[in-house]
Amino acid sequence: MNARRTKPRVRIALNFYLMTLASVISIAVFVACVFQTFVMGRAYQMTLTQGVANSFASKISELAYADDIMWRFQEERIAALFEHVKGESNTSGHEWSVSVETADGTSVFQRYAEPAFLQTSTHSDISVGSELIGHVYLTNEDYQLAASLMQQGSIALTISLSIFILLLTIPFRALRKRDLDLQVALREAQEGNRSKREFISTVSHELRTPLTSIKGSLDLLGSGLIGEFGPLAKRSIDIAVRNSTLLGMLVNDILDYEKLDAGKMAIEPILDDIVSVVGNAVEVFGTYGAARQIKVVSIGNNGPILSLIDTKRITQVLGNLISNAVKFSPSNEVVTVSVSEVDGWVRVAVKDNGCGVPEKDRKIIFEAFSQGDSSDTRSYGGTGLGLTISQAIVEKHGGQIHLAQNDDTGSTFYFDLPKVDYLTVPQVPNAVKEAA
């Protein structure tokens, strides 16, 4: 009798501890994420503000050195100097209140921004030689950090609530039925692959229509046709547009992979000019690079070079390779796409100057869902399916795709396709059989 009474008490105590653990984890995740973003953002904001103030004061000192008296009356020149200083610094997402005064407190130049959630104020002295002639006062209104905090807070809150709900909804009786559940799981595994394919395919197709609608609405908001928004709202819309575009790409990757897995990816080849296809791809995906301050250029053969290809699918391969090269390249670098002929085959290569692919990851880089384990690789996102899909498309064209490592100076991915010359297709060259 006592044992029977004890079991409910144990269950109640266990449920209480689970709820307490869920609450602690939820609060910890939320506070940690937001606090980290806030601390790092404020440190960067202070450094940026002081740097801009010092640089601006230095530029005014140069102006005053040239004309000790008239600098006080050159408001337009001082405004131009401030815009120049901002252009030299990474000030995207920041608005500035600025005031320039002489040593006796006379106002020379003023500009005010609307107050924001996060502000950092500082000042810098204006000197000519050892003589103090004025002061620069700056207030940095960091809209970007405010938006990041809201985004991080939203993500952290979602994660914490998910953990909370997960731990709260674990049925205690499932522990007593684990053997039965295992037997059921084994029986259901026989239909698992088919169900998985059907589910993923159905969900992915159903997501396409609302995603298209959402992106269209966001693009309309961002265009300003239905009204103007404040800086913070515009940045939030831009974030939503980028994320909806990324989600659409992920859905397409999953659908393509399911087609490959089911053997249903069709290739419809036509006789086309590879050089022209590469040029069009560089033009299209170059805008993606430009948004990240990466220049995408085509070099090499000006063609034409003919091959039997599915133009849409080969463009998809080029898009995957170019977007990967852009993602892993530092700012102000160049991604090159070259076209050449190798033993009767046409070779298309995409070269970047990024971090390269670690040796341990080179053997699995074309495997499904494979990504590097480093935090840098993880931060770029993606499904890990792009290279897998690209490899399948190239192989369906009778070619092969490879990675040629450039040590610490980046990576080169290239693929070889049969060149059509007088409607004859050559044999596979050694360069294709063995990776360069």
Q: Is residue 150 part of a domain?
A: yes
Residues 146 and 42 placed together within one structural domain of the fold = yes
| Residue whose pair of structure tokens reads 């050892």 in the numeric block | 130
Residues 142 and 216 placed together within one structural domain of the fold = no
Residues 366 and 401 placed together within one structural domain of the fold = yes
Q: Is residue 189 part of a domain?
A: no
Residues 211 and 157 placed together within one structural domain of the fold = no
Domain end point (choices 207, 235, 261):
261
pLDDT on residue 165: 62
pLDDT on residue 218: 73
Answer whether residue 325 shows pLDDT above 70. yes
pLDDT tens string 294-311: 899 988 777 788 889 999
Q: Would you mind telling me the total number of residues written for the chain in this entry?
A: 436
Answer whether residue 19 shows pLDDT above 60. yes
- Kindly indicate the confidence band of residue 436, based on its pLDDT and cuts at 50, 70 and 90: very low
Percent of the chain exceeding pLDDT 70 equals 63
Residues 352 and 282 placed together within one structural domain of the fold = yes
pLDDT on residue 220: 72
pLDDT on residue 162: 67
Answer whether residue 396 shows pLDDT above 70. yes
Residues 229 and 278 placed together within one structural domain of the fold = no
> Which structural domain range is residue 248 located in?
194-261
Which of 30, 24, 19 shows the shortest CA–CA distance to 167? Answer: 19
Q: What is the CATH number of the domain that holds 363?
A: 3.30.565.10
Residues 242 and 330 placed together within one structural domain of the fold = no
Residues 10 and 143 placed together within one structural domain of the fold = yes
Give the lowest-confidence range in 214-228, 279-293, 362-376, 404-418.
362-376
Q: Is residue 185 part of a domain?
A: no
Give the lowest-confidence range in 113-122, 164-173, 242-251, 306-315.
164-173
pLDDT on residue 167: 58
By CB atoms closer than 10 A (0-12, 13-18, 19+), residue 304 is exposed
Residues 338 and 402 placed together within one structural domain of the fold = yes
pLDDT tens string 262-282: 667 778 889 989 999 999 888
Q: Is residue 232 part of a domain?
A: yes
Q: Is residue 184 part of a domain?
A: no
pLDDT on residue 168: 56
CB 314 within 8 Å of CB 397: yes
pLDDT on residue 413: 92
Domain end point (choices 176, 205, 226):
176
pLDDT on residue 433: 42
Answer whether residue 415 shows pLDDT above 90. yes
Which positions ≥6 away from 184 have C-beta within 8 Å? Answer: none
pLDDT tens string 139-191: 887 766 666 666 666 666 676 666 666 655 555 455 556 666 667 776 776 56
For residue 156, the one-letter residue type is A
pLDDT on residue 7: 56
The domain total for the chain is 3
pLDDT on residue 13: 63
- Model pTM? 0.47
What's the rounded Cα separation, in Å, for the pair 4 and 8? 8
pLDDT tens string 195-235: 665 666 666 556 666 777 776 777 777 776 777 777 787 77
Domain end point (choices 222, 243, 261):
261
Q: Is residue 374 part of a domain?
A: yes
Q: Is residue 188 part of a domain?
A: no
pLDDT tens string 61-105: 888 877 767 777 878 888 888 888 877 777 777 888 888 888 888
Answer whether residue 334 shows pLDDT above 80. yes
Residues 86 and 228 placed together within one structural domain of the fold = no
Which of 283, 366, 289, 302 shows the shortest CA–CA distance to 340? Answer: 302
The mean pLDDT of 129-136, rounded to a whole number, is 86
Residues 119 and 142 placed together within one structural domain of the fold = yes
Residues 91 and 227 placed together within one structural domain of the fold = no
Q: Is residue 36 part of a domain?
A: yes
The mean pLDDT of 45-59, rounded to a whole number, is 82
